[in-house]
Amino acid sequence: MYTINSTTGALTSIGMIAAGYGPDSEAVDPAGKFAYVANFGSNDVSMYTIDATTGALASTGTIAAGPGPVSAAVDPAGKFAYVANWTYDTQGSVSMYTIDATTGALAFIGSIAAGTSAFSVAVDPAGKFAYVANWTGNDMEGSVSMYTIDATTGVLTPSGTIATELSPTSIAIHPSGKFAYVTNSGSNSVSMYSIDTATGALTLIGTIGA
């Protein structure tokens, strides 16, 4: 854990806190009250509250995820959390949770299939759509799974897939919600997509070498 100097951006350590086995990714809710860590080795998610003054984390427990959780994302309203579960060379999944607004506790609401070896999950800034980059395999063409988000329940509904280049590992959404970018570890490139703001569908607009 670190504090950030608001002038210089320098980090100062304020200590460490235990997570589960093999922590792989962390997400913070938009209000900055809660943090969640996907633990790849223990197949669970560690939950923390964040001290608003010091930034220190306090554990509030763990909740089960699917096999091999590697990436976590929180929707912009702070109501729902999603965890991508990676399993080598087999179909991945996304674990879905609601977030208690007072305590930050997650409640499991189900899982949904993703592509092979799901590796990274992201939510658009409007909280309408979610995307999962599927690694697929070493030097193999990957894909992005696309979902719509139920604004009331947080449940994901599949809306299709689109190809990437080789072995995608991360996906990021532009703050405008109009574009998405996927890093491809196997081809040392970034796939660029436009986002249909009505449907969430991605359209490839090009690739660039990393």
DSSP of 48-79, one letter per residue?
EEE-TTT--EEEEEEEE-SSSEEEEEE-TTSS
pLDDT in tens, 177-189: 999 999 999 999 9
Selected from 3.40.30.10, 2.130.10.10, 3.30.1490.20, 3.30.70.1560, the CATH number assigned to the domain covering 2-209 reads: 2.130.10.10
Q: What is the pLDDT of residue 89?
A: 81
Cα distance between residue 66 and residue 43, in whole Å: 6
Q: In what order do the strands lie in the sheet with 156-166?
A: 118-123, 129-134, 141-149, 156-166
Whole-number Å distance between alpha carbons of 25 and 135: 16
Answer with the residue of higher pLDDT: 40 or 137: 40
Give the β-pairing of 129-134 and 141-149: antiparallel
Three-state DSSP class for residue 152: coil
Looking at residue 2, its pLDDT comes to 84
Please report, for the chain, the start and end positions of each structural domain, with discontinuous segments joined by +.
2-209
Q: Is pLDDT of 11 > 90? A: no
Sole residue written with tokens 């994901």: 156
pLDDT in tens, 68-114: 999 999 999 999 999 999 988 889 999 999 999 999 999 999 999 99
